[in-house]
Amino acid sequence: RTGGGHSGHNIMSMTDAALTTTVRTVQGTCHHDCPDSCGWMVTVEEVPDAAPVAVKLRGWSEHPYSAGELCPKVNRFLDRVYSPERLLHPLRRVGPKGSGEFEQITWHEALTDISANLHRVIDEHGAEAVLPYSDAGNQSLVSLMGLSGRFFGHMGATKLVRAICGVTVGAGMSKTMGSPRGLDPMEHEHSKLIILWGTNTRLTNRHLWPTIETARANGARLVVIDPIRTLTADAVNSAVGDQFIQPLPGTDIAMMLAVMHVLIRDGLTNDDWVADHTLGFDELRAAVADWTPERAAEVCSVDATVITQLAHDYATIRPAGIRTLVGPEHHENGAMFHRTLACLPALTGAWAERGGGLSKSTGAWTESNIDVDAMLRPDMEVGDARTLNMSRLGEILTHPHAGETDGPGIHAFINWNCNPVVTTPNAEATRRGLLRDDLFTVVHEQFMTDTARYADIVLPATTQIEADDIVLSWGSLHINYNHAAIDPPGETVNNTELFRRLAAAMGYTEPALFDDDDTIMREALPAIDIDALRSSGWLRADYPDDGRPFGDGDFDTPTGRVHLASDELEAMGQPRVPTYVAPNEGPGGDATLVAQFPLQLLTPKHHARFLNSGYSHLPKHGPAEGGPFVELSAEDAAHRQLADGDVARVWNHRGSIEVPVKITERLRPGVIAIPWGWWSAHHSDGKTVNALTNDTLTEWGGGVAFWDTLVEVGHPA
C-alpha cells in the first residue's frame, strides 16, 4: 500500500505579476530519533535570483500515521533551520578545548587539516586509533547508514556498537520469540486491555495516542506501569477500571515472574496454545514456583493484591495487548526485562487474537527491506578492526588502550549525528577524555553543542529540509520519503557529502566511497520502487493482512516455538529461564553503594518541547520549559531539610550537580528524577544529569544502565 499519489513538488499558486513569487509545497518526513516519523509539508517561496525560502512547515494531512499533526518541538522547525546560531561554515579551534573559541576557515583548509591529522594518527598508532562516533540524530536511511560505514571500514578504524537505544529491547525479545518482530502498535485499536509497560506514550510517541483513545472509546481498559506518575499515567481513569502501577525502577522482572506464577497457579494459562507453540514450560513453571505475589511485592514495592489482579485481568480481559518501548532497557537487567515480558502473551495465547500480543519498535518490519550488506559494504573493510561500545565513551577516551582491549588508545574522534557530552552516561569522563591534548576531534553539527565545543575542527551540517532522504519508521509500519525543500544554507553538507569529501581528502579512490544519495537509496532498498515512493510520499511495509503476526503460532526461533527456556541464553552464560537479578546499583544491589547513595535517580525525557538534547538551546524551547530541576517526594525532601525551590546538590561516586528542588507526588519515596536534555550552559555548575548516570552495560544486547543510578541529595556544601 502506498500514499495517495501525492506529488512532492506541487506548484500551488503564482502571485504578484510584478515580483513573480512562486509558492510551492514540498512533502517531507521528520528525521528525529522518535517513533512517529511524522509526515510534513513545507511551503517554499521563490523569487527570481534569490535562494528559495521555507516559510511554513506543517503536518501533512495525508500521512496515515501522523495525520497532519506534528509536535511542540517540530512545529517550530523553521526557527531551527533559520536560527542565527546555526553553523554555516567550517571552523577551527583557536581557544582551549571546550572554550567554544573558533575561527572560520574554508572547506579546503578544514579537509587538509583533517586528512593530515588522520594520516598522522594512523601512521603513529594504527587505524584503530580512529573512533567514528555517531547515532541517530538524523535517523533517515542515507544520513544514518550512508557512506560512513564504507569510509571507516576502508580505513580500518575502530567499529562502534551503536546500542544506546532500542537494540537491547530487540535482543531481549529475540531470545524468547526468535526475532524482534512484534505487533504493529496500531493494532492496539483492537485490544480490550492495553498495558503500557515502561513507555510514556503521550510524551514520546504521541501519534500512537489516538489509537489508544479509540480502543478506550470502544471499552478498552488501560494499565500504565512506570516508576514515575508520567503524563501517560495521568490519563489513567480508575473510575472505568484503569490502573496505574508504580514499581521501584529495575524491579519489574520480579513482578512479571509473580504474574506468571499466578497465571499458572490459578489455571489461567492457555494450555493448548502453550503445548502447541512453546518450549520449556515445565522449566518456567519451576522457575516461577517460588515467585508468589507476596515475594515480588517486597522487591517491587507493589501490593501483592495488585499483582494478583494484574495477572487475572491479563488473562481474562481479551484481546490483551502489551506495549513497551525503550525506557526499561536502560537497566542492568534491561535485556531480561524484554525477554521476560515476551513470555507473558505466550502463556495466555494472546497472539491468537487480533489486538493481542506485544508491541515494541516496528524497526524489524520496516528495516527488513534494507539490504544491509549492499549499504554498508563489509567487503570493503580492511583488517579485522575491534568494536567498542558507544555507551562506554568516557572510559574509551580516558583509557590508554580505549578500555578492556589491547589495541591503541583513541587519538582521533570523528563525531556526527549525535551529542555525546550531553547524551552518554558518565559524561564527565567523556568530557575529561575530550580535553586530552593528544586527541584530534572533528564534529559535524548544526549547532555549537556541548560536544562541538571540544572539537579541533567543526563542520556544518544540513537539516532535514535541505537534502532528500528516506525515513523508515520504528513506531509504525511506514517507509517515508523526504524531499529537500530548500538548498543547503551557507557551506552546510549532509552526512554523505561529508564522507565523500573526507574520502577524497584522504586520497581514497574506491568508487563506492563516492556513490551519490540516489544510488545509495536504490542499493539499500532493492525491493522498493524508489520513484513510486518519491511520488507517493509513503508506503507501508509488509505485515500480515489479518493483523496477527503470529496468529498461526509460528515464531522466528529455529524451533518455530516461543522459547520459555532458552539453550541459546545458557550458551551465553545467562539464565535459561526468566530470572530476576537485582541491579548492582539499586535496592538489593551493592550494599556499600546503597548505604552511601540511598536514592534511585531517573533522568527521563520529560519536556514536550525537547527531543533528546536537540532543542534546549533554542529560544522558544529551553526558556519555555523553565530549566533543570530535581524532583523528589515530600518525605525524601523533609528527611534532608530541603524545601521547594532550594538549590540541592545531587551526587554519587561519578559526579555531582546542583539543581533547584521540586517537591512532587509523581515519585514514591526513594526515587528521584532530573529531566534530561539540558546542556552544560543551563546548569549553574556547567554539568548535566549524565554526569551522574551509570555506564554499566546491560547483561546482553549492548545497552546501558542509565537508570540504575544511585545518588544522595542534600544542601550544597
Ligand X SMILES: Nc1nc2c(c(=O)[nH]1)N[C@H]1C(S)=C(S)[C@@H](COP(=O)(O)OP(=O)(O)OC[C@H]3O[C@@H](n4cnc5c(=O)[nH]c(N)nc54)[C@H](O)[C@@H]3O)O[C@H]1N2
Q: Which does 690 bind (CB under 5 to 8 A by kind): ligand X, ligand SF4, Mo ion, none?
A: ligand X
Residues that bind ligand SF4 (CB under 6 A): 30, 32, 34, 36-38, 66, 70-71, 73-74, 206, 611
Contact 149, 513 (CB under 8 A): no
Beta bridge partners of 173: none
Residue 679 in contact with ligand X, rule: CB under 6 A: no
Residue 199 in contact with ligand X, rule: CB under 6 A: yes
The number of residues that bind Mo ion (CB under 5 A) is: 1
Contacting residues for 163 by C-beta, under 8 A, at least 6 apart: 389, 390, 391, 701, 702, 703, 704
Between 547 and 614, whose beta carbon lies closer to ligand X? 614
Distance from C-alpha of 615 to C-alpha of 618, rounded to nearest angstrom = 6
Residue 459 in contact with Mo ion, rule: CB under 5 A: no
Residue 613 in contact with ligand X, rule: CB under 6 A: yes
Residue 706 in contact with ligand X, rule: CB under 6 A: yes
Helix then strand then coil, % of the chain, to nearest 5: 35, 20, 45
Residue 612 in contact with ligand X, rule: CB under 6 A: yes
Distance from C-alpha of 608 to C-alpha of 621, rounded to nearest angstrom = 9
Identify the H or E element spanning 498: helix 495-506
Least separation in angstroms between residue 534's CB and ligand X is: 20
Residue 605 in contact with ligand X, rule: CB under 6 A: yes
Among 351, 447, 538, 679, binds ligand X (CB under 6 A): 447
Between 70 and 672, whose beta carbon lies closer to ligand SF4? 70
Least separation in angstroms between residue 32's CB and ligand SF4 is: 4
The H-assigned helical ranges of 583-656 are 591-596, 634-639
Q: Return the residues of window 468-487 that contact ligand X according to CB under 6 A.
A: none
Residue 34 in contact with ligand X, rule: CB under 6 A: yes
Residue 197 in contact with ligand X, rule: CB under 6 A: yes
Collapsed DSSP state (helix, strand, coil) of residue 646: coil
Least separation in angstroms between residue 143's CB and ligand X is: 5
The number of residues that bind ligand X (CB under 6 A) is: 59
CA angle, residues 196, 200, 206, in degrees to nearest 5: 105
Distance from C-alpha of 536 to C-alpha of 7, rounded to nearest angstrom = 7
Contacting residues for 186 by C-beta, under 8 A, at least 6 apart: 65, 208, 211, 476, 477
Least separation in angstroms between residue 396's CB and Mo ion is: 20
Q: 276: how many CB neighbours lie within 10 A of its CB? A: 11
Cis preceding-peptide flag for 319 (omega within 30 of 0): yes
Between 23 and 306, whose beta carbon lies closer to ligand X? 306
Among 78, 91, 142, 165, binds Mo ion (CB under 5 A): 165
Between 270 and 680, whose beta carbon lies closer to ligand X? 680
- Strand intervals (E) in 524-588: 538-540, 562-563
- How many angstroms from the chain centroid is the CA of residue 377? 25
Q: Which does 351 bind (CB under 5 to 8 A by kind): ligand SF4, ligand X, Mo ion, none?
A: none
One-letter identity of residue 568: E
3-state secondary structure 576-602: CCCCCCCCCCCCCCCHHHHHHCCEEEE
Contact 704, 171 (CB under 8 A): no
Least separation in angstroms between residue 557's CB and ligand X is: 25
Binding mask 123-152 toward ligand X (x if CB under 6 A, else -) reads: ------------xxxx----x---------
Q: Which does 440 bind (CB under 5 to 8 A by kind): ligand X, ligand SF4, Mo ion, none?
A: none
Residue 144 in contact with Mo ion, rule: CB under 5 A: no
Judged by the rule CB under 5 A, the positions of this chain that interact with Mo ion are 165
Judged by the rule CB under 6 A, the positions of this chain that interact with ligand X are 33-34, 135-138, 143, 164-165, 197-200, 203-205, 225-228, 230, 249-250, 252, 325-328, 331, 416-420, 423, 444-447, 449, 461, 495, 602-605, 608, 610-614, 676-677, 689-690, 693, 706-707
